[in-house]
Amino acid sequence: MANKAQTGGNIRNEDIARIIEAIGDMLDILGENQFRVRAHRNAAASIRGYTRPLFEVYDAGGPKALTAISGIGEHTAKRIEQLLVTGQLPYYEELKAKVPPGLIELLNVPGLGPKKAKKIYDSLGIKSLKALVEAIEEHRLESLPGFGRKSEENILRGIKQFETMHERILLSEGYPIAREILARLREQPFVERADTAGSLRRMQETIGDIDLLCSSDEPANVMEFFISMPQVAYVLAQGETKSSIVVTNGLQLDLRVVTPEQYGAALQYFTGSKEHNVHLRHIAKVRGFKINEYGVFDVETDQRLAGKTEEEVYAILDMETPPPAIREDRGEIEAAAERRLPNLVELADIKGDFHIHTKWSDGLNSIEEVIAMAKTLGYDFIVISDHAEKLRIAGGLSVRELEEQLEVIAALNEQHADIEILCGMEMNIDNDGEVDFGASVLEKLDVVIGSIHGGFTQPKEKLTARLLKALENPYINIIGHPTGRVLGQRPPYDIDIQAVFKASAETGTFLELNSYPNRLDLKDDHLREAKDVFGCMFTIDTDAHVAGNMTYMEYGVATAQRGWLTKQDVLNTYNMAEVKRMLAQKRP
């Protein structure tokens, strides 16, 4: 009989993953077997992608149940058990005594890996970035075997790159740069095709660099063009088919060139994710195939079997082609093999937007300007959802102002036959779970969003109770930005998110996927869990405060895809009559 996870409730999967990963890093520096190192990193990645808390898994089935999770074997299961039961891991502490934490930080420097970091530490005693910079300035590195003047320069530049760009940037910051450079590449006569690859093509919420791919029969011209673009700050690497540059804002771009015949294999390869590719290669290997960026080959005969298109690559393995957004090795490979890939929601399915602010509260545009933008986006409906009076900082509307707005919207509906304008509001969920207005006001609205805008530091029980109370409110249709995170600025509220999902499903309240690029809230993993485990429904909203923000829908839809949402899961894809019927179901 297994022990109960005593402290388990305090140890999140992320904390466990970080410790396992750190063990892998330390083993790496200590020169351990590379496969053992990789096994730890794989286990950490697997835990990060696992939606159920490990302490629950452990409580239900002990260490044996943990080994059912891919990448976790007997050893790691035992270590996780120790962590969950005692809150301690002696093995981890032992390693930390051997490898100073500062040394692990050095691994973050581009161009500095475990071997070089270890050498620098062993021979010079350097264990911090600061000490490393000093040593380079005194040219103490170049005398070490395997190092030279060039290495010093590169490491110093790597440190600068790390310091300016050590945080991943938002997808919305990288995407326009990638688009611009792609457009220029495609204009070149020697470029046949060009696309984004990597995390940008998978539309991850943040990206570390930009991967580009193009096909050409004149790779030298492509390389020359790429490294000579005006945006280039410096060239990191330049080869015959691959170059890396850093642009003026510190962002790194990698470009790879292949022949038109190889394009599909290369696009598949460079789109990743790494985990997806490793899994795919394994399947290929078992069947006697070898996949690389040039194609799929028969190992015996070395005959090339596929590679012109991505579809060919997957087809030769008897698979459908998974959409890039879900290539994370979270079940998409199995689904592709069994021909049950989800029919993911697409931007073209979106018929309207439920969360838009105007200058009636803290937005910058008029309702008319918002309508004009909605028409260019081809929408059938929009919801004007300004703040209410209790959110003073956002210039929220009083009841009298709301009544005025209702009249204005009624008049606008008369003028615009081709689009329907609904009147909603974003209620602030206060510290006790109450909202600005009562039933007599809310019943006049078509849609009501409830969101938390303050009191973030309340204890978990209190924060959760606020949301649950709002979910029980029969007039609240949508919970806005449910976890409250702001990427790079604010962590999510400390809430029992599963309790929120459960109540959402039970009360028929929609969960918002806020498309604001620094929110993307709910995030991909939460969407999938809320849908699969609890059966929740969603709206994809932009929370636009400027009419132009309404184009953020693209990022929301991409995140929905990453969460495996289909058209049926998303209220925005239904027609107006269905939307009204579904919203009305919760009303008393």
Residues that bind DNA (CB under 7 A): 33, 35-36, 38-40, 42-43, 67, 70-77, 107, 109-117, 142, 145-151, 154, 198, 208-209, 211, 237-243, 252, 254, 270, 274, 277-278, 281-282, 285-286, 290-294
Nearest to 361 by CA among 338, 330, 331, 384: 384
Name the minimum Å distance from CB 290 to DNA: 4
CA-to-CA dists, residue 19 to 24, 100, 536, angstroms: 9, 15, 32
Q: Which residues pair with 383 in a beta bridge?
A: 422
Q: Specify whether the CB–CB gap between 475 and 442 falls below 8 A.
A: yes
Name the minimum Å distance from CB 108 to DNA: 8
Specify the residue, 188 or 252, whose C-beta has the smaller distance to DNA. Answer: 252
Specify the residue, 28 or 430, whose C-beta has the smaller distance to DNA. Answer: 28
Specify the residue, 148 or 438, whose C-beta has the smaller distance to DNA. Answer: 148
Name the minimum Å distance from CB 204 to DNA: 13
Q: Specify whether the CB–CB gap between 523 and 487 falls below 8 A.
A: no
Distance of CA 10 to the CA centre of its chain: 25
Q: Specify whether the CB–CB gap between 80 and 66 falls below 8 A.
A: yes
Q: Specify whether the CB–CB gap between 250 and 294 falls below 8 A.
A: no
Name the minimum Å distance from CB 400 to DNA: 57
Name the minimum Å distance from CB 198 to DNA: 6
Name the minimum Å distance from CB 170 to DNA: 18
What is the rounded radius of gyration, in angstroms, for the C-alpha atoms of the chain? 27
Specify the residue, 201 or 531, whose C-beta has the smaller distance to DNA. Answer: 201
Specify the residue, 143 or 431, whose C-beta has the smaller distance to DNA. Answer: 143
Give 74-114 as a DSSP string: HHHHHHHHHHHHHS--HHHHHHHHHS-HHHHHHTTSTT--H
Name the minimum Å distance from CB 58 to DNA: 14
Specify the residue, 198 or 484, whose C-beta has the smaller distance to DNA. Answer: 198
Specify the residue, 96 or 290, whose C-beta has the smaller distance to DNA. Answer: 290
Q: Specify whether the CB–CB gap between 259 and 215 falls below 8 A.
A: yes
> Strand 289-292 vs strand 252-258: parallel, antiparallel, or unpaired?
unpaired
Preceding amide of 522 cis, omega within 30: yes
State the CB neighbour count (10 A cutoff) for residue 472. 13
Specify the residue, 214 or 540, whose C-beta has the smaller distance to DNA. Answer: 214
Specify the residue, 12 or 118, whose C-beta has the smaller distance to DNA. Answer: 118
Q: Given CA atoms 335, 44, 272, 38 in this order, what sign does their dihedral have?
A: negative
Specify the residue, 122 or 443, whose C-beta has the smaller distance to DNA. Answer: 122
CA-to-CA dists, residue 383 to 142, 386, 425, 517, 568, angstroms: 64, 9, 9, 20, 20
Name the minimum Å distance from CB 41 to DNA: 10
Name the minimum Å distance from CB 186 to DNA: 21
State the CB neighbour count (10 A cutoff) for residue 411. 11
Dist CA 489 CA 505 (whole Å): 30
Name the minimum Å distance from CB 174 to DNA: 14
Nearest to 527 by CA among 496, 492, 566: 566
